[in-house]
Structure 1
Amino acid sequence: MRFFSTNNPAHQVGLKEAVIKGLAPDQGLYFPEKIPVLSADFIASLGEKSFAEIGYEVIAALFSEDLSPREIRELVDHTLAFDAPLVEVEKDIYSLELFHGPTLAFKDFGARFCSKLMSMLLADHSKTVRVLVATSGDTGSAVANGFLGVPGVEVIILFPKGKVSTLQEKQFTTLGQNITALEVDGVFDDCQTLVKKAFLDPDLSEKLLLTSANSINVARWIPQVLYYFRGMAQLEDQSRPVVFSVPSGNFGNLAAGILAQKMGLPIAHFVAATNVNKVVPDYLNGAAFLAMPSIQTISNSMDVGNPSNFPRLLALFHHDEDALREMVSGAYFEDEETRKAIHEISDLGYVADPHGAVGYLGLKRFLGQNPEDQGVFLETAHPGKFRDVVEETLGEKLELPERLAAFLQGEKQVISMGKSFSEFKGFLEGMD
């Protein structure tokens, strides 16, 4: 399959270049030239298939021109080594738990897929690949653990100082080996800007082979369609409209859900649920898209003021803004509302992290106006990853999963850095 730049559809590349380059030369995001539509028979049989069986067919529809059936099975088996269970929280409201992977966050799916695919595509490549990653939390831990020990790959993770939870930070600053963590004196958007500038710098492009494992990379973004199919497969009542509420920061997850819908998954509507970093909800409610400085909140993985994947949202609807606004509703919530939601959900017998709580709030608001529908909110991380917030809110201790608690024992290893590009460029040049 060919992939085009969202800034210039005439610029097209193959899978290998799209994955290894990460970002198009014109700063556009790569997007598939065509979206395959799966058969009605396949969609009707989802409930009878395992997660892996669903994955084989969905990924084959997207990548069979570039990968053999054996490679597709190997890639899917590596990616889907854990489940995404659907849990009923209350009548007509379900949580799709995406935190059963190695770092207990939804990004484990994309990171495992990306690392495996990249190793396949680089099997005959002699030059070291440097993966640059900006993170507001879970991306760093998922990518670091997904690429840990992969031969020929070095990972450089940029994160904003003091704006990532302790557990998230420990998951990517204690690993060593081929993982380097840069603690940037700024906000997430500063980290993201440094990464984008590095990709476009001609000096660095000549000296180093740089790529990304953020959701700007198609190999991180596309596999997220899989758990939408898995979520739908687990719904017992297939006769009523289904709404997905997606906690959103960089908007790759929402864009993946819409891609799944375009492939034939019968999702009736989406809710883009955010904290007060509400650039996209404002846009969906009629305002112009206007990037803003990010604001720190208790749902820190969504503290993004200039969402990178917004161009993919537009591309999915062929730049028809009315169609986008008709299919996706925007909602945003203050920290106080998020804490109240964590309490409300706890009273129902379920513990949610702050991001899942925002998704729950968005879904509740939409279903209040559309009571004939049923809904799924994405629980994107284990609440233990935001232990301080959840424990303070609920006034009780959380029991951490053993593999999460183990990260706390590691020693933090970081390199402190300002937010100037010249300093970051100098660091990268020193690695050559």
Structure 2
Amino acid sequence: MKFYSTNNPGHQVDLAEAVIKGLAPDQGLYMPEEIPVLSKELLDKFPEMTFQEIGYEVIGALFSTALSQEQIKELVDHTLTFDAPLVKVEEDVYSLELFHGPTLAFKDFGARFCSKLMSMLMEKSDRKVRVLVATSGDTGSAVANGFLGVDGVEVIILFPKGKVSELQEKQFTTLGQNITSLEVDGVFDDCQRMVKEAFLDVELNKKLLLTSANSINVARWMPQCLYYFYAFSRLPKNDKKAAFAVPSGNFGNIAAGILAQKMGLPIAHFVAATNVNKIVPDYLQGGLFAAKPSIATISNSMDVGNPSNFPRLLALYDNDDQELKSQVSGCFYSDEETVKAMQSVKDKGYTMDPHGAVGYLGLKDFMAKNPDYQGVFLETAHPGKFRETVEKALDLTLTLPERLAAFMDGKKKVEALGNDFEEFKAYLKSL
């Protein structure tokens, strides 16, 4: 399989270069040249298959030209060591719980796949890979824990000072070993900008082997399609169409769902739900795509003012924005609306985190206008990761899962950094 740049379809590379480089030289995102389509006969068998068995089929279809069957099985077995249960919240409304992995967030799937694939591809190399990661919360913890102790890889995480929950911070700032955390005096978009500039800096790239484990990397992005196949296979079989509502920040997650759709999964509609950082909803509702400074909210992992994966959304629909807008609807919600949703669903016996609540609101608004649907919203993180917000909104005391509570005892180790690229470049040159 070849991968092309969203900025230049003529620029094509193999899997190893797409994964190790992360970003194309022209700053485009890599996309698979061809998207395989699974047969209806195979998809009809998925309800009787395990998560892992579905994974072998999907990852095999995507990567069989680049990897052996043994490598594909090893990748899937390493990635899918935990469940992603579909939980009924109310009639025709289901939560896809993606927080049962090591760091209790959906990014555990992509991070584990990415770290394993990268170690496979670098197995015979004597060079050290520096993985640069910008995070607004969950990416940092998932990547740090996914790559912890991996030989030949050093992870450098940039995060905005004071804009990540304490628990999220603890999950990547207390690990040590091959994980370094840089606390940036700025917002997430500053972190993301500096990482992108580093990838394009000729001097740095002559000295260091730099790559990304953000969702801009195909190895982080593509495996997320797995849980869409799994969730769809667990939905009740009836005459209702299926809609998936995805709380969205950098838009890699929803792009992975659309990838699954392009592979033949009959998802009828996607809802891109955001907080007040509504760049893509504005576009989907008829406006222009215009990056803006991010705004802090209680759903901080979605506080993104310039979503990196937007070019992938267009590429998946062959740059036909009308087709994109017919298949994906956008909506946004305030903190106040998010809290009210958390409270109303808690009264029904289910506890959501603020990101899942945004997805729930998007799904409910869509289904109110489209009653012939059943829907899934993605619960992307355990409520305990946003303990202060959830406890205040719901007037309760959460019991943290043991693995989350353990992080709180760790000692934070960070280095301070401004939001100027030259300062970051100087730091990298000193390595």
| Same fold (TM > 0.5) | yes
Superposed CA deviations along residues 205-235 of structure 1, whole A, max 9, x for unmatched, are 1000000000000000000000000101111
| Equivalent-residue separation in structure 1 for 2:264 and 2:44 (angstroms) | 10
| Equivalent-residue separation in structure 1 for 2:251 and 2:73 (angstroms) | 28
Distance 1:82 1:238, change over 3 A: farther
| Equivalent-residue separation in structure 2 for 1:386 and 1:115 (angstroms) | 26
| Equivalent-residue separation in structure 1 for 2:293 and 2:252 (angstroms) | 19
Other-structure match for 1:423: 423
Which SS does the other structure have where 1:104 is aligned?
coil
Matches within 5 A, 1:157-172: 157-172=157-172
| Equivalent-residue separation in structure 1 for 2:34 and 2:72 (angstroms) | 19
Q: CA RMSD in A?
A: 0.4
Deviation of 1:239 (Å)? 2.9
Other-structure match for 2:81: 81
| Equivalent-residue separation in structure 2 for 1:226 and 1:370 (angstroms) | 26
| Equivalent-residue separation in structure 1 for 2:219 and 2:125 (angstroms) | 18
Identity across aligned pairs (percent)?
72
Other-structure match for 1:42: 42
Structure 1 gap segments, 5+ residues each: none
Deviation of 1:372 (Å)? 1.1
Other-structure match for 2:377: 377
Other-structure match for 1:346: 346
Deviation of 1:45 (Å)? 1.0
Superposed CA deviations along residues 242-287 of structure 1, whole A, max 9, x for unmatched, are 0000000000000000000000001000000000000000000000
| Equivalent-residue separation in structure 1 for 2:239 and 2:293 (angstroms) | 43
Matches within 5 A, 1:7-26: 7-26=7-26
| Equivalent-residue separation in structure 2 for 1:10 and 1:75 (angstroms) | 29
Other-structure match for 2:212: 212
Runs of 4+ displaced beyond 6 Å: none
Which SS does the other structure have where 1:58 is aligned?
helix
| Equivalent-residue separation in structure 2 for 1:237 and 1:243 (angstroms) | 14
Other-structure match for 1:359: 359
Other-structure match for 1:58: 58
* 1:398 partner amino acid: L
Other-structure match for 2:192: 192
Other-structure match for 2:134: 134
Q: TM-score, normalised by structure 2?
A: 1.00
Deviation of 1:236 (Å)? 1.7
Distance 1:238 1:124, change over 3 A: farther
Other-structure match for 2:67: 67
Deviation of 1:238 (Å)? 4.3
| Equivalent-residue separation in structure 2 for 1:180 and 1:349 (angstroms) | 40
Other-structure match for 2:122: 122
| Equivalent-residue separation in structure 1 for 2:421 and 2:246 (angstroms) | 33
Superposed CA deviations along residues 3-51 of structure 1, whole A, max 9, x for unmatched, are 0000000000000000000000000000000000001111111100000
Other-structure match for 2:410: 410
| Equivalent-residue separation in structure 2 for 1:189 and 1:157 (angstroms) | 14
Question: Number of aligned pairs?
Answer: 431
Structure 2 gap segments, 5+ residues each: none
Which SS does the other structure have where 1:260 is aligned?
helix
| Equivalent-residue separation in structure 2 for 1:372 and 1:216 (angstroms) | 35
* 2:345 partner amino acid: I
Which SS does the other structure have where 2:27 is aligned?
coil
Which SS does the other structure have where 2:430 is aligned?
helix
Which SS does the other structure have where 2:55 is aligned?
helix
Which SS does the other structure have where 1:288 is aligned?
coil
Other-structure match for 1:98: 98
